[in-house]
Structure 1
Amino acid sequence: MGKIICFISDQFADFEITLAFHKMKNVGEKEVLSMGYNYETVVSESGLYYKPNLTVNEAMELNDIEGLIIPGGPIRTQKIELTVLINKLDQEEKLIAAICHGPQYLGRAGVLNRRKFTTSCSIEKIHELGVENPFPRENFLDQRVVRDGHVITAKGRAFVDFSFEIFDYLGIYQGKNEEREQLFKDIMDR
């Protein structure tokens, strides 16, 4: 069984990935781990504290990563070790999924230069922040979720759609269509 790694950093949007990780672990029986640049506790957008299970450098040594999930959060700088890990997983055609502002890391790693993608981060926001635009806008699609091969991106408000796209990619509900449909109905009825 492969590991699903989640990159966490200060002010990450934990609500965007909770459904995905809950079902990956409990229905898909995947091993899920949080990863940071170091072991320092981070505080999410919701104010909850999270302590990484492993560092990005330690993740580089694993040979059983099945996927990397990157939630949204602030636009920030990127350390080289994360870029190296993203490129390694891309070359291995492992699942790489990022939501809201999370695709910024894929953009800086060059993954989005050859893939269609979406993000919640507008050009106006980039200009307002006065930072270099990490997104190759010629590949941007104004859609809720975009799946291009093993890379899945989504807008932040599409976290349910994002989760289901990951479930489909990983085959978590394969052969369990009734269970999948009931979960979707339950979520949409709330």
Structure 2
Amino acid sequence: MGKIICFISEEFADFEVTLAFHKIKIVGKREILSMGYCYESVVSESGLHYKPNLTVKEAMELDDIEGLIIPGGPIRNQHKELTELIIKLDQEEKMIAAVCNGPQYLGRAGILNKRKFTTSCTSERISKLGVKDPFPRENYLDQRVVRDGHVITARGRAFVDFSFEIFDYLNIYQGKYQERDLLFQEIMDR
């Protein structure tokens, strides 16, 4: 099993990924690392301070990344090294999951051009911000969560559904509750 990386930046929506990371670490027994453009602490949307374990450049050198998760947050500029990491992980068919406004990074990296996706970021909101729309809107689906191959996207209010889609992709719960479920079914059939 490889590492699961979380990209963090100023005002990221930490609540959108805490359930996912809790179960990935505790039940899935994966190593979790936070990643930023540099080692400076960032303040999340909830006001908590987070310090990255590694930089995006360092993550490019890792050969055991199993997946990348990107929480939502403000629409912001994207550094070249993050785009390169997303493209690399996409080519390696590693899990790439982004929630709320997080898919903006996938859109700018071009990996949504041939995939269905969802996001909380509407074209109206982009227009109000006066920035270039990072999304290929023709591939947008009006759904809570969309999984297209190894790419998972979700709206912000669907962060629980997003977590469970990640669990399913990573086989976090596969077989762990089989015995209990069989016993429950046996009792129900009586």
Same-fold status (TM-score > 0.5): yes
Once the 2 structures are TM-superposed, how far is the Cα of residue 179 of structure 1 from its aligned partner? 9.9
Deviation per CA, 1:26-85, whole angstroms, max 9, x where unpaired? Answer: 000000000000000000000000000000000000000000000000000000000000
Amino acid at match of 2:125: K
Q: Name the counterpart of 1:124.
A: 124
Q: Name the counterpart of 1:166.
A: 166
Q: What is the SS of the residue equivalent to 1:112? A: coil
Q: What is the SS of the residue equivalent to 2:88? A: helix
Deviation per CA, 1:66-111, whole angstroms, max 9, x where unpaired? Answer: 0000000000000000000000000000000000000000000000
Q: Name the counterpart of 1:185.
A: none
Q: Distance in 1 between matches of 2:125 and 2:180?
A: 36
Q: Distance in 2 between matches of 1:114 and 1:30?
A: 29
Amino acid at match of 1:135: F
- Pick closer, same or farther for the CA change 1:36–1:180 going to 2, 3 Å: farther
- Pick closer, same or farther for the CA change 1:179–1:109 going to 2, 3 Å: farther
* Structure 1 unmatched runs, 5+: 182-190
- Pick closer, same or farther for the CA change 1:47–1:178 going to 2, 3 Å: farther
Amino acid at match of 2:171: G
Q: Name the counterpart of 2:186.
A: none
Say whether 1:61 aligns with 2:73: no
Q: Name the counterpart of 1:11.
A: 11
Superposition pairs for residues 113-152 of structure 1, below 5 Å? Answer: 113-152=113-152
* Equivalenced residues, count: 181
Once the 2 structures are TM-superposed, how far is the Cα of residue 178 of structure 1 from its aligned partner? 6.2
Q: Distance in 1 between matches of 2:150 and 2:43?
A: 29
Q: Distance in 2 between matches of 1:144 and 1:180?
A: 30
Decide whether the 8 Å contact of 1:173 with 1:179 is kept in 2. no
Aligned identity (percent) is: 80
Superposition pairs for residues 1-190 of structure 1, below 5 Å? Answer: 1-177=1-177
Once the 2 structures are TM-superposed, how far is the Cα of residue 177 of structure 1 from its aligned partner? 4.2
Q: Distance in 2 between matches of 1:179 and 1:59?
A: 38
TM-score (norm 2): 0.93
Once the 2 structures are TM-superposed, how far is the Cα of residue 168 of structure 1 from its aligned partner? 0.2
Q: Distance in 1 between matches of 2:105 and 2:120?
A: 13
- Pick closer, same or farther for the CA change 1:141–1:58 going to 2, 3 Å: same
**Higher Cα radius of gyration:** 2
Amino acid at match of 1:22: H
* Structure 2 unmatched runs, 5+: 182-190
Amino acid at match of 1:8: I
TM-score (norm 1): 0.93
Once the 2 structures are TM-superposed, how far is the Cα of residue 156 of structure 1 from its aligned partner? 0.1
Q: Distance in 2 between matches of 1:74 and 1:136?
A: 19
Q: Distance in 2 between matches of 1:13 and 1:119?
A: 14
| RMSD, matched Cα | 1.4
Q: Distance in 1 between matches of 2:145 and 2:77?
A: 24
